[in-house]
Amino acid sequence: MVDVGGVAIGGGTWVVIAGPCSVESREQLLDVARAVKQAGATLLRGGAYKPRTSPYDFHGLGVEALKLLKEARDLTGLPIVTEVMGVEDVDLVSEYADMLQVGARNMQNSPLLRRLAQSTRPVLLKRGPSATVKEWLLAAEYLLSGGNPNVVLCERGIKTFDSELRNTFDIAAIPLAKELSHLPVIADPSHGTGRRSVIPAMSRAAIAAGADGLMIEVHPCPERALSDGPQSLDLAAFASLMKEMERPSRPRAVPSP
């Protein structure tokens, strides 16, 4: 069980980390923070430093975003999860964030993992897009053996031949990682599928498979998002997802006598 700013991850209930892919402005962030809090989210996510495939893409507002995240926490009480991209940023990001995220591209960045092993902040370790479950657990071992016991894993989809969705969301990795370790596992159906319409079904599936929480991208206006628009839910869709998670499951067919 990992404590993140007062929220327990891995203790039998499941949490919801929600927020925008990137922090884009004060208004955007605070709107989302208020809305996800009201809908039932337990932590707030938001990218200040964004790893991107192209150097010409938006790379985040940096320290300005960190300050806005702090303001959002003050406003809503939600602990903050945000990504740290390099050894040189760990101290700064730790001043503002309650949980430090290691992105999928950095899962095997061993200098970064070694540095975070010495941090007092809990770490959310995303699975690399081509990492096996064992490679993922060995990456976690850099943190654990280096002295940081507060590690939460995050399944976010793997790269396969099937390009109809952004990634193949490997839900079986959730029970497998829990069987091979004792770490909590969060699921990110936003990156895991990249397609808004299947996020509710995959959120239910991940929790049914034993995930200790969900990480969901939410944006007030996904069409105008500077990153990950197609997989972001708007405020209403997120509220509706949270309600749908409470829906009882369909009944089994009754066999003939």
Q: Which of residues 133-162 bind a copy of itself (CB under 8 A)?
A: 133-135, 138-139, 141-142, 145-146, 158-162
Q: Which of residues 2-61 bind a copy of itself (CB under 8 A)?
A: 6-8, 12-16, 37, 40-42, 51-56, 59
Size of the site for a copy of itself (CB under 8 A): 90
Beta bridge pairs of residue 7: 4
Please state, in angstroms and as integers, the Cα–Cα distance from residue 229 to each residue in 22, 186, 223, 226, 242, following that order: 10, 21, 6, 7, 20
Stretch of 27-35, 165-173, 216-224, 227-235 lying at the interface with a copy of itself (CB under 8 A) = 165-173
Minimal distance in Å, beta carbon 250 to a copy of itself? 6
92 forms part of the interface with a copy of itself (CB under 8 A): no
171 forms part of the interface with a copy of itself (CB under 8 A): yes
67 forms part of the interface with a copy of itself (CB under 8 A): no
Beta bridge pairs of residue 125: 102, 153
Among 120, 182, 223, 256, binds a copy of itself (CB under 8 A): 256
**Dihedral class, residue 188 (left if φ above 0, else alpha if ψ from -120 to 50, else beta):** beta
Minimal distance in Å, beta carbon 89 to a copy of itself? 8
For the chain, report the end-to-end CA distance as a whole number of angstroms: 46
How far is the C-alpha of 224 from the C-alpha of 206, rounded, in Å?
Answer: 28
Among 74, 120, 223, 255, binds a copy of itself (CB under 8 A): 255
Structure tokens at 232: 């972001």
The residues near 227 (Cβ < 8 Å, ≥ 6 apart) are 21, 22, 47, 50, 52, 57, 58
Q: Which of residues 100-119 bind a copy of itself (CB under 8 A)?
A: 105-106, 108-113
170 forms part of the interface with a copy of itself (CB under 8 A): yes
87 forms part of the interface with a copy of itself (CB under 8 A): yes
Contact 78/42 with Cβ under 8 angstroms? Answer: yes
Q: Which of residues 179-238 bind a copy of itself (CB under 8 A)?
A: 179, 192-193, 195, 197-198, 201-202, 204-210, 213
Among 2, 93, 97, 174, binds a copy of itself (CB under 8 A): 174
Nearer to a copy of itself, 1 or 221 (CB): 1
Contact 167/230 with Cβ under 8 angstroms? Answer: no
Minimal distance in Å, beta carbon 236 to a copy of itself? 19
2 HSE (CA, 13 A, CB side): 27
DSSP structure class, residue 127: P
243 forms part of the interface with a copy of itself (CB under 8 A): no
Q: Which residue type sits at 101?
A: Q
Stretch of 24-32, 64-72, 77-85, 229-237 lying at the interface with a copy of itself (CB under 8 A) = 77-85
Among 120, 182, 223, 253, binds a copy of itself (CB under 8 A): 253
The residues near 164 (Cβ < 8 Å, ≥ 6 apart) are none
How far is the C-alpha of 185 from the C-alpha of 234, rounded, in Å?
Answer: 25
